[in-house]
Chains A and B, each alone.
Chain A
């Protein structure tokens, strides 16, 4: 049934399009521009919205409990990074540095992802009670650096996919066979964040600086007999504190009843 509906819709759009082309080629004046029929929200190849709960099967002793002071295992720190990490004191636990964009996804808890408008995804987190905005359209002008910074999002398929959605891809699509657009069936969401405050990669003070570049990929998928899952890959490349990019991926499971469990806990400034 769904397939029939899609076919009908595609045919209708194609007929409408051919009609427009026909008019255009007869040399008549183009019609008044209609409202766009689709938005970034409409074109999203994967639906990230909903409540997602972290399922901590990796780095358990770094994430579910406070790591021991001085335990920086597997973070590729340089000497400056190590010195900065060693300055951390246990009384700093719970500060907002642990919930910034560099590591906020790693904190155990729930995410609530919604469309704030047709071109902005909003992520609220229980851990640290943070809010992120992922801008698929124009990002606002940079203000003062914040824990979550300014995040610009794109669907990260082959280059022609991005073209279709953002700039100039229509020409390619018009020339070719539409293969580029078909690739939108499943594509991760790439998020690049800038203008953020320095924070911690782990709750025991392993640092990242405000000079780091932070790139994430959001990937949704179905696990047989276990519902919908979301994996967020985070790559922190920090010339100040790291000798190579710090690369982790964090797994969440969709919760239909997440709203009833929602219990944000604010961090300390």
Chain B
């Protein structure tokens, strides 16, 4: 006979189901986990075959990138220690040690850590509800991860991932990708499901899953270490980037022939992954961005990000400027447009209330020099030039030293109309550089560190400079480097594509990354997010490869229209092309073409 208690058992269970779900961990994921490779074995362990893009919902641009990729690139010193990014590293041969980081006083869970044996990586998944960093923060191999429990499933969202591989035979994942992971433990088996959304190289999310088994036998402690020091394996001309010109990769046929696949199959695409009736329309266009909305400056705003040492990046929608602040005072690199001067000064004053002694301009454009006059007035002069005044925000008649290559002054002071007292110049006199140089380099010492202003001849124009803070180990690249756009160079003002490539290679030689090719020397681009050497490598590679492709077409005697029709920037447009104007793909191709064609 059933008791009333038995009768109400389901109702009681339901009543508790309706109670709020606690945020605490539901399942213990800690321990050492070893993967099983019974899916995609040949890709995951020995490595994928060249030309095998099956199963990947690639864009046309991703396919072009992959088919141009030359495995010889791995031999380049800057590529040798490249780490597999978090979306991909779990698929390779590796062991994972999962452990908790807890507040020592409350024992509250702060983060779940993953120690990944391959490449000596340690990944942090924050469980304390903190937000993701802003869009202008640097990216890392593992990215920035936050986790939440959904019942017995840990759901992890990762942003700020560096550019890496969807498959390590050249299929790229962009640095705009977002990773969502689902960790499910049952008994001694852990399943990791991953969904990658990439608005540059995927047409739809790429969902994969893999299994790990609890390792109760231990992993030798040395197995967790991975030290890498790059060396020159192949002597090449400086700046050479191995790649195949479109349509010229001789190895793409191997995989097709080996398995008897038609070309349409091995080149991937979402349409290949579904049964009949469910196949998406094959547009080849990138998917829409997905994932959390990251904080970014709004028009008129200036945001501060500490880079390292004494250097700070000030981000705006019009580009970046830099503040170096120390005991001696403040040094600025570039000053943003004049309309942002008030916001820029407010941001500077959150870093230091000391006088602004130096402004260094990386080029003449309004986006770099527009605030020169206002910000120079905001601080008293350099001690050796004129009497110091009252200090903060009060101009005493002295002038902050504005340092730039002389060609910047020439451009800003060029006569537009009139003469004598009625002369009109390109820019107001108060914004002109006051301390110019004509040499290759102009060095000085400020705030206990060497500051090198490095002229980059014939790059975007004839006046570009980069600034290297040697003690803080930060390079300010100006517009020679951008994470969001093609380089916009002006041949009429002395710029050239080869000058841009040379400038990028010069900066690469200055930068030194850590053993895992992450961090080390930090690089502030003219536009976009804070970067490191590997980000600059990616940009240099892009510019070099596009240059090489157009150079080859020019050598074949192609017209500009024929070059445009060949889409030499197809694999990079979704990342770098502006919809129109000087930063568009058409404009970039035209500029490179004009720069390379015989005069």
Complex CA distance for A7 and B55, rounded to whole angstroms = 45
Quick one: given A61-B54, A248-B39, A251-B207, are A43 and B17 in contact (CB under 8 Å)? Answer: yes
Q: Does A263 contact B (CB under 8 A)?
A: yes
Q: Which of B15, B42, B207 contacts A13 (CB 8 A)?
A: B15
A60 touches B274 (CB 8 A): no
Q: Which stretch in B180-188, B216-224, B391-399, B420-428 binds the other chain? A: B180-188
Q: Does B38 contact A (CB under 8 A)?
A: yes
Contact partners of B542 in chain A: CB under 8 A: none
Complex CA distance for A24 and B195, rounded to whole angstroms = 52
B258 to A: closest C-beta gap in Å? 9
Write the chain A residue with the least CB distance to B36: A247
Q: Does B578 contact A (CB under 8 A)?
A: no
The 4 closest A-B pairs by CB, nearest first: A186-B151, A74-B41, A38-B10, A181-B16
Q: Does A114 contact B (CB under 8 A)?
A: no
A219 touches B191 (CB 8 A): yes
B17 touches A184 (CB 8 A): yes
A59 to B: closest C-beta gap in Å? 5
Contact partners of B193 in chain A: CB under 8 A: 219, 221, 229, 231, 249, 251
Contact code string A210-225 (vs B, CB < 8 Å = 1, else 0): 0000000101010111
Q: Does A26 contact B (CB under 8 A)?
A: no
Complex CA distance for A188 and B183, rounded to whole angstroms = 11
Complex CA distance for A17 and B57, rounded to whole angstroms = 53
Contact partners of A55 in chain B: CB under 8 A: 207, 273-274
B448 to A: closest C-beta gap in Å? 47
Quick one: given A17-B15, A226-B205, A229-B207, are A221 and B10 in contact (CB under 8 Å)? Answer: no
Complex CA distance for A57 and B40, rounded to whole angstroms = 9
Quick one: given A188-B186, A251-B207, are A42 and B14 in contact (CB under 8 Å)? Answer: yes
Q: Does A182 contact B (CB under 8 A)?
A: yes
Q: Which of B36, B153, B213 contacts A219 (CB 8 A)?
A: B153
Q: Which of B191, B261, B291 contacts A233 (CB 8 A)?
A: B191
Contact partners of A30 in chain B: CB under 8 A: 3-4
- A/B interface sample: 26 pairs, CB < 8 A: A16-B11, A36-B10, A43-B13, A56-B273, A56-B274, A57-B55, A60-B55, A60-B272, A61-B259, A64-B272, A73-B42, A75-B38, A108-B274, A126-B275, A178-B16, A182-B19, A183-B151, A188-B184, A224-B195, A224-B290, A225-B287, A226-B195, A226-B204, A233-B209, A247-B38, A251-B208
Contact code string A46-58 (vs B, CB < 8 Å = 1, else 0): 0000000111111
List 13 extra interface pairs beyond A45-B17, A56-B273, A219-B153, CB under 8 A.
A43-B14, A65-B265, A179-B22, A185-B21, A186-B152, A188-B152, A219-B182, A224-B205, A231-B182, A247-B213, A248-B39, A253-B207, A261-B277
Complex CA distance for A65 and B207, rounded to whole angstroms = 20
Q: Does A187 contact B (CB under 8 A)?
A: yes
A2 to B: closest C-beta gap in Å? 11
Contact code string B121-154 (vs A, CB < 8 Å = 1, else 0): 0000000000000000000000000000011110
Q: Which stretch in A79-87, A143-151, A156-164 binds the other chain? A: A156-164
A224 touches B274 (CB 8 A): no
B18 touches A187 (CB 8 A): no
Contact partners of A113 in chain B: CB under 8 A: none
Q: How large is the interface on A (under 10, 10 to 19, 20 to 34, 35 or more residues)?
A: 35 or more
Write the chain B residue with the least CB distance to A35: B7
Complex CA distance for A10 and B277, rounded to whole angstroms = 44
Complex CA distance for A59 and B41, rounded to whole angstroms = 8
Contact partners of B151 in chain A: CB under 8 A: 45, 157, 183-187
A106 to B: closest C-beta gap in Å? 10
Contact partners of B13 in chain A: CB under 8 A: 38, 43, 164-165, 170, 173, 181, 184
B207 touches A170 (CB 8 A): no
Contact partners of A24 in chain B: CB under 8 A: 4
Contact partners of A17 in chain B: CB under 8 A: 8, 11-12, 15
Contact code string B27-57 (vs A, CB < 8 Å = 1, else 0): 1000000001111111000000000001111
Q: Does A142 contact B (CB under 8 A)?
A: no
A219 touches B184 (CB 8 A): yes
Q: What DSSP secondary structure best describes chain A's contact surface?
A: mixed
Complex CA distance for A178 and B155, rounded to whole angstroms = 24
Interface centre among B150, B210, B275 (most CB of A within 10 A): B275
B215 to A: closest C-beta gap in Å? 14
Q: Which of B2, B37, B150, B273 contacts A57 (CB 8 A)?
A: B273
B46 to A: closest C-beta gap in Å? 10
Q: Which of B14, B39, B195, B259 contacts A58 (CB 8 A)?
A: B39
Binding site for B on A (CB under 8 A): 6-7, 9-10, 13-14, 16-17, 20, 24, 30-31, 33-34, 36-39, 42-43, 45, 53-61, 64-65, 68, 73-76, 108-110, 126, 156-158, 164-165, 170, 173-174, 178-188, 190, 217, 219, 221, 223-226, 229, 231, 233, 235, 246-251, 253, 255, 261, 263
B154 to A: closest C-beta gap in Å? 10
Q: Does B9 contact A (CB under 8 A)?
A: yes
Q: Does B285 contact A (CB under 8 A)?
A: no
Q: Does B281 contact A (CB under 8 A)?
A: no
Task: Enumerate B253-279 residues with CB–CB distance to A below 8 Å.
Answer: 259, 261, 265, 272-278
Write the chain A residue with the least CB distance to B1: A33
Complex CA distance for A45 and B17, rounded to whole angstroms = 9
A51 to B: closest C-beta gap in Å? 10
Complex CA distance for A233 and B206, rounded to whole angstroms = 18
Write the chain B residue with the least CB distance to A75: B38
Contact partners of B155 in chain A: CB under 8 A: 221
Contact partners of B213 in chain A: CB under 8 A: 247
Contact partners of B11 in chain A: CB under 8 A: 13, 16-17, 36-38
Q: Does B26 contact A (CB under 8 A)?
A: yes
A223 touches B195 (CB 8 A): yes
Complex CA distance for A217 and B191, rounded to whole angstroms = 10
Quick one: given A45-B151, A170-B9, are A263 and B273 in contact (CB under 8 Å)? Answer: no
Contact partners of B19 in chain A: CB under 8 A: 10, 178, 181-182
Quick one: given A10-B19, A182-B22, are A20 and B206 in contact (CB under 8 Å)? Answer: no
Task: Enumerate B507-523 residues with CB–CB distance to A below 8 Å.
Answer: none
B38 touches A20 (CB 8 A): no
B275 touches A110 (CB 8 A): yes
Q: Which of A42, A58, A126, A179 contacts B208 (CB 8 A)?
A: A58
A221 touches B182 (CB 8 A): yes
Complex CA distance for A59 and B55, rounded to whole angstroms = 8
Complex CA distance for A10 and B19, rounded to whole angstroms = 7
Q: Does B288 contact A (CB under 8 A)?
A: yes
Contact partners of A255 in chain B: CB under 8 A: 278
Complex CA distance for A190 and B6, rounded to whole angstroms = 25
Complex CA distance for A188 and B57, rounded to whole angstroms = 28
Q: Which of A37, A60, A223 contacts B14 (CB 8 A)?
A: A37
Q: Which of A73, A170, A173, A224 contacts B197 (CB 8 A)?
A: A224
Complex CA distance for A38 and B12, rounded to whole angstroms = 9
Quick one: given A57-B55, A57-B207, are A74 and B39 in contact (CB under 8 Å)? Answer: yes
A8 to B: closest C-beta gap in Å? 10
Q: Which of B3, B7, B36, B275 contacts A53 (CB 8 A)?
A: B275
Q: Does B67 contact A (CB under 8 A)?
A: no
Q: Does B587 contact A (CB under 8 A)?
A: no
Complex CA distance for A61 and B259, rounded to whole angstroms = 9
Complex CA distance for A228 and B6, rounded to whole angstroms = 36
B191 touches A231 (CB 8 A): yes
B153 touches A170 (CB 8 A): no
Contact partners of B275 in chain A: CB under 8 A: 53-54, 108-110, 126
